[in-house]
């Protein structure tokens, strides 16, 4: 998963640099491994990309250089590596200077047939510098354009017609910007205005700046071309003839709570609140304190507590400076990080003995198992007995039974708790007194308040994938 951002403006405004950085900060949750940008003032381009967060990579030296160049077009990406490594070569944007011009591309999502796509390009004599889907997409577009007289819109059409997958992307030349979205519409993508500039971003929270406004979502199969002379062209290149496949895991877990749920103007936080309420109706409890897993479980926990009139209390405090654990490689590393990342507020035991822990999803079950273990260790150390305590767990989404091939880095199939174990087995593994997941019809009853559930991808909950895919090998 990643975040893309950028602008195209008819004239330079020094505040554009600040706005560009702000967009990056607002999309930091979508990727914390790399940040990169390519920009052009219409005559020359500049670029940087490196490991680290926006504040580390877009440092004073790079910001000063950016401002000095006065770019009229800029594209950027916050990266969370799903294909390719975290080295600068795999980071985005990818750029190329050819005899006929300069091109750079950044995108968000994954190609489920990536290996095959790379082999096809290599068979045509293309040299690949990384194993990253952003590079594959750039090179596929350029091949397609070359076969159509250099027309980049036709190159994007060829990409869409031949390449299944999730890609919300942006392509730039020295004077033009193309913003495009795959025909399934897996990942969100918005276009809007900031003063005179056309701006775009992966999530609506990147428009939370006084002068920014969202015009609309980029449609599945659409490209929008803008240039520094004020030109604009919108074309629906492919109408896939199937329902959209908006990733339902975005509003469950990934997106910021103050972002929109795709084209619906309601917040992701409300979606999560409704999931918690539905979970409460399906699996209610009495006389318990509701405990959220911070941060993404908090809205579902609030919904659960509100629906049943229960108190909600913080039991686990999260250190915000440690990254999302499921992005880290290696099980012992992940377990250590959970222990470093959370502490237990034992003062809650002065008032409560029965708890229901609510989280948005359960992937490997590592975090939940360690948190319950940490809580019990602390409680027993304080002189309580296990039989004095009750720990129930409620998950505000159905069991995850399949990997994602569209940009969410869920682990290998055999690492997914629910792909190998029954609910009762997982309950025992995590040490809970009871465990229950939201049902799939329950999830759809919430999704229905935002759009027809058929327009959401549910593949990781059902195993029914909307496109062909190759099983991932790392």
d(CA 139, CA 128): 9
What are the residues binding ligand SF4 (CB under 6 A)?
A: 186, 247-249, 404, 406, 408, 457-460
What one-character-per-residue DSSP string does 91-150 give? SS-EEEEETTEEEEEEEES--TTHHHHHHHHHHTTPPPSSS-HHHHHHHHHHHHHHTTTT
Q: What angle do CA 324, 325, 326 make, to 5 degrees?
A: 100
Sign of the Cα pseudo-torsion (379, 381, 384, 389, in order): positive
Q: Where in 328-448 does DSSP place strands (E)?
A: 342-344, 354-359, 390-395, 434-437
C-beta of residue 465 within 8 angstroms of C-beta of residue 459: yes
C-beta of residue 248 within 8 angstroms of C-beta of residue 458: yes
Closest separation in Å from C-beta 406 to ligand SF4:
4
What angle, 0 to 180 degrees and rounded to 10, lies between the N-to-C axes of helices 133-146 and 114-123? Answer: 40
C-beta of residue 217 within 8 angstroms of C-beta of residue 188: yes
C-beta of residue 108 within 8 angstroms of C-beta of residue 30: yes
d(CA 120, CA 126): 9
Q: Where in 293-371 does DSSP place strands (E)?
A: 316-318, 342-344, 354-359
Question: Tokens 């029914």 correspond to what residue?
Answer: 464
CA dist 152 → 155, 174, 296 (Å): 5, 13, 39
Is there a catalytic annotation at residue 247? Answer: no
d(CA 428, CA 435): 9
- Is it true that the peptide bond before 128 is cis, omega within 30 degrees of 0? no
Q: Where in 202-261 does DSSP place strands (E)?
A: 212-217, 222-227, 232-236, 246-247, 260-261
CA dist 318 → 193, 340, 352, 371 (Å): 36, 9, 21, 11
Would you name the residues annotated as active-site residues? 2
């Amino acid at each position: 998963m990643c975040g893309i951002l950028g602008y195209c403006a008819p004239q330079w405004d020094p505040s554009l640099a600040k706005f560009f950085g702000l967009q990056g900060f607002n999309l930091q949750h979508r990727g914390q491994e790399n940040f990169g940008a390519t920009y052009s003032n219409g005559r020359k381009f500049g670029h940087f990309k490196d490991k680290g967060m926006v504040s580390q990579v877009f440092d004073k030296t790079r910001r000063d250089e950016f401002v000095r160049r006065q770019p009229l077009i800029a594209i950027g990406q916050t990266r969370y590596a799903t294909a390719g490594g975290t080295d600068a070569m795999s980071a985005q944007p990818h750029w190329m200077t050819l005899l006929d011009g300069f091109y750079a591309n950044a995108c968000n999502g994954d190609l489920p047939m990536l290996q095959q796509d790379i082999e096809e390009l290599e068979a045509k004599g293309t040299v690949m510098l990384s194993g990253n889907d952003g590079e594959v997409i750039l090179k596929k577009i350029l091949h397609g354009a070359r076969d159509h007289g250099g027309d980049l819109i036709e190159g994007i059409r060829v990409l869409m017609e031949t390449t299944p997958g999730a890609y919300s992307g942006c392509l730039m030349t020295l004077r033009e910007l193309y913003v495009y979205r795959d025909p399934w519409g897996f990942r969100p993508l918005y276009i809007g205005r900031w003063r005179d500039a056309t701006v775009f971003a992966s999530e609506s929270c990147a428009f939370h700046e006084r002068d920014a406004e969202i015009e609309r979502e980029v449609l599945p199969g659409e490209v929008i071309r803008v240039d520094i002379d004020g030109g604009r062209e919108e074309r629906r290149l492919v109408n896939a003839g199937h329902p959209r496949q908006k990733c339902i895991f975005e509003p469950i877990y990934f997106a910021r709570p103050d972002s929109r749920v795709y084209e619906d103007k309601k917040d992701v936080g409300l979606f999560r609140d409704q999931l918690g309420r539905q979970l409460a109706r399906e699996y209610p409890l009495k006389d318990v304190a509701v405990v959220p897993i911070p941060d993404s479980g908090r809205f579902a926990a609030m919904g659960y507590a509100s629906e049943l009139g229960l108190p909600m209390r913080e039991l686990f405090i999260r250190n915000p400076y440690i990254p999302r654990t499921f992005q880290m490689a290696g099980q012992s590393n992940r377990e250590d990080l959970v222990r470093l990342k959370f502490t237990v507020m034992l003062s809650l035991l002065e008032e409560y003995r029965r708890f229901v822990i609510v989280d948005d999803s359960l992937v490997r079950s590592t975090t939940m198992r360690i948190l319950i273990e940490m809580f019990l260790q602390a409680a027993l150390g304080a002189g309580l007995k296990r039989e004095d305590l009750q720990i129930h767990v409620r998950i505000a989404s159905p069991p995850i039974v399949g990997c994602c091939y569209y940009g969410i880095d869920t682990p290998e199939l055999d690492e997914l708790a629910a792909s190998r174990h029954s609910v009762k087995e997982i309950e025992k593994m995590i040490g809970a007194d009871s465990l229950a997941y939201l049902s799939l019809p329950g999830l759809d009853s919430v999704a229905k308040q935002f759009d027809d559930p058929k327009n959401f991808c549910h593949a990781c909950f059902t195993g029914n994938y909307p496109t062909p895919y190759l099983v991932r090998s790392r």
